[in-house]
Structure 1
Amino acid sequence: MNAALLDFPPAGPLPRDLMERALDPHILLGMPHLNGNGLSETWLMKELGHRHWLMLARHLGIDNADFRTAEGEEAYAAICATSLAAARFDTVCANDILTIHSRLSAVSRTQTSTRHELSVYGRSVGTVELISTFVHRRIKGNNHSIARVALREAQAQRFEFSPLAQNAADIRNGRLGTHFGFPVLANKALQTFKFDPSTSQEFNGAGLFYFADFQAVADRALENWFPSSGPVIRREVFFLGNIEKHESVFFDLIACFGKQNAAYGQLRRENGKVIAKIFSMWNILC
């Protein structure tokens, strides 16, 4: 008698298990993580953004980062502000082990902060904070229609004050006069850099211009205008909107301090709508 054998595929790991693996604090660094100045800020922001979303999903008690509105529609934990401080990325090399210690806190009913302490063999190489808020498209497929939305999983909880979140709110509402010593309300461009994003390179899986590429565009412009600029040591980015695919984006240099190696600029759409304000400080290459 012949018995038919049923070929059952082996059971794979559950998403929840993979979330925990992705949040392992230690990463062996290689070429994907580095650039000509050491640790890649763009890679790092993508990695920390991923961790931010996974930590948020775990905080909300769901098995993956599939966020939904109260009506069951797709929502995104959009990054609305980032802060990088005390960066020493030029000291990081291939085969180093980067350790990331992360902490999540709610800063309002709709906003969440994650703070990430970065170190290599116990030596601090920087601190990053990310602030996110849930958003959705009011018009399907239209990145200009992004708006905030509440999630059905959101619950009453204790909020923790975040200066970064407060500055983001003040910039959004025109209440912040100066930041990094620059006049925030100034908008006359000293120089302008045009960039045409690639759908396959600068947009994420949600079809949005990736938050980590905002600062990457700023770096392209700053390195063009200041060739001796070296690794970034401090940066804050405040996000105010997004762009459509195949739409050009412009980086305006609003002000700069040569002695402090600092610059303030803004990203805007073709129609003039400002989508980000970016404050940067960097070392000078020898």
Structure 2
Amino acid sequence: MRKGFYEDISTFLVKHTFHTRFFLSRLTKKSKIAKKIIDRLLFQGDEVYVLPNKNTVQKTKSATISANIEVNQSFQKDDSEFVPSEILKIAIREASDIVIMNKCLCRSSNDCQDYPQDLGCIFLGPASRKIASKYGRRATVEEALAHVDKADAEGLSHVIGRNKIDTIWMHVSPKEELLTICHCCPCCCLWKVLPDLDNDISDKIMRLEDVEVHPISDNCKMCKKCLGDDICFGGAISLENDKITIDQNKCVGCGHCVQTCKFNAIELNYTQKSVDSVLNRIGELVDYKKH
């Protein structure tokens, strides 16, 4: 009875916080006291990395191949090349426990019509055993890998890391034993609030090292679709001097703009260094692996 009571209250609080997230995020810049309270309650100890989905990477590769063919240059595609979303799969294969949420709390709370509401987060590590069955189900490695593939196919951006709010609303602990993997769309909790958060908090949501997203002015047709409210995760894209620009200090490398552009006027690049560094860091943040 008591456990069910806490579950119901947690769900209510998360849904209420979700719909007030813009107000709360702006408070962190307006009030030092509010910032300190919000940071401690919801973000203390957080470190989250944003990963572009596989489609974004493949679109950039395809555009590069086409460009090289047009100028009669040779270009050999390496189909075995590591893509960032493979980080999720490595973590899943190493995990001691796996739980897949029955639905995405953000998309269901916002009644999202653009992306599947049943594509929920994946949680890894010993603390995931405490997640109530009403929220998620125990899963095999194969089921979790297929879940990532489905999220990739839907064009969702991924985040992976330690996220305190997940331990709060699901009433599980410790946070050092729960690894969060989310598949994000513009309905999700962090999308669009990032620019409103104080830098000390927003800096906890990071892009992979060496990931770069750049506009290609020669290809741009000025359709301005990349300037839409639901496009940029970090609010990094703007129009300056009649050109699309991307603020690298705000860009989190989600690659959503690359998918949106129909003219291959935005590209995403990365190196193996980014993959290696985040895998090592995640292992330091959360004890989620089999022993």
- Higher-Rg structure is 1
TM-score (norm. length: structure 1): 0.27
Bigger relative contact order (CA 8 A; separation at least 6): 2
Greater share of helix: 2
Greater share of strand: 1
TM-score (norm. length: structure 2): 0.27
